[in-house]
Amino acid sequence: MMQIVSVYCRRGLKVTTAMVDNQFNPLRDTIGDVDLNVTAAAEHAPEIERCIRLIKERVRVQKCRLPFSSLPARIVIGLVSFCVFWINAFPHKSSVSQSLSPRTIITGRKLVYTKHCRAEFGDYAQVYQDTTPHNSTDLARAVSTIVLGPTGNAQGTYKFYNLDTGWQIVTNQFTILPMPQEVIHRLHAIAAAQQMPADIIFTDAEGNIINDVGDDIAPPPTEDHRSVASVDPADGLYMGIHPAGDMIGDHFTKPLQGALFRKFRAIIMNIDECVTDVDLAWERDLVPTMPQECVGDIAHVSVTRLKVDHGTIYCVA
């Protein structure tokens, strides 16, 4: 808390009030002139909760674009830091400035594309390693790493996850390479050893899962938390992430086929999933249909019947 306050003070900004929850109450006598506005157990700070929800959304989006099914703990921490870094790097609509980002306002530093956008989070990189003595042929000159994002300094330094040691490396000398399958297997093995879940799960300091609408504590998930269905957070139930097999929006955005296509088709058309394509064929011999291209009167076109096993669906042509 004092580190954040000192950052504001260096820019000539005085922090007078901090909106916090009850966990920060012990700091009341240690932060000087800052007034801690502590919320009660059932109260909420909408501005703070909305920002936290935005961070959660960005973290989940970044996780979905990665080729890894699960991530080690240190990479998850780096993922959250990466998302917060870039959220603060762009001007906000409700900010005091429409041209300066929150990061620039507070730190006075601007990002440079050629320095701070050299790699994406999760890229595979070979990082140069300084060896002593410099003419040694026994020590490796590069190590395999995963990009964790820029540090934000003026030199364009980046953070990396060392696949050999699990430590974080900070350097600006690296080369981005295509992702090898061996690296994916290595990362999955580390995550499995740490018992990391496949999905990103947000918890409080005591490990209780929290939902997306404030401080309400949700019940713990089942053994396979990926199978828990997401529900309305107003009900106080667990807010999980739909696995790919349950995302019905994919029916409209992706060329699905096979069992997954039939599953989503059954949900949308309200029919049995076991209905075959033959049962859904148009009965052209029973119902008159219009030619595909015509300029005549279409008033005589009757109702087209779509026959299925358990009933009949009518749709007007």
Distance CA 226, CA 240 (A): 7
3-state secondary structure of 307: strand
Per-residue pLDDT of the chain (317 residues; tens, 9 = 90+): 788 888 888 888 888 888 887 778 888 878 778 888 888 776 777 777 788 888 988 999 999 999 999 999 999 999 999 999 999 998 888 788 888 898 888 888 889 999 999 999 999 999 987 766 666 666 677 899 999 999 999 999 999 999 999 999 999 999 999 999 999 999 999 999 999 988 888 877 777 777 654 444 344 444 444 343 444 333 333 344 445 566 656 556 556 667 777 777 777 777 777 766 656 654 444 444 444 445 555 444 444 444 454 555 545 44
Amino acid present at 140: A
Amino acid present at 222: T
Cβ-contact 218, 239 below 8 angstroms: yes
Residue range 234-256, pLDDT digits in tens = 333 334 444 556 665 655 655 66
Look at residue 280 in the predicted model and tell me its pLDDT.
Answer: 61
pTM, two decimals, is 0.62
The dihedral region occupied by 108, where left means phi > 0, alpha psi between -120 and 50, and beta the remainder, is left
- Bridge-based pairing of strands 124-128 and 174-177 is antiparallel
Cβ-contact 301, 292 below 8 angstroms: no
Residue range 134-173, pLDDT digits in tens = 666 666 778 999 999 999 999 999 999 999 999 999 999 9
Tell me the HSE value of 143 on the side-chain side, using a 13 A CA sphere.
Answer: 19
Q: What is the DSSP letter of 27?
A: G
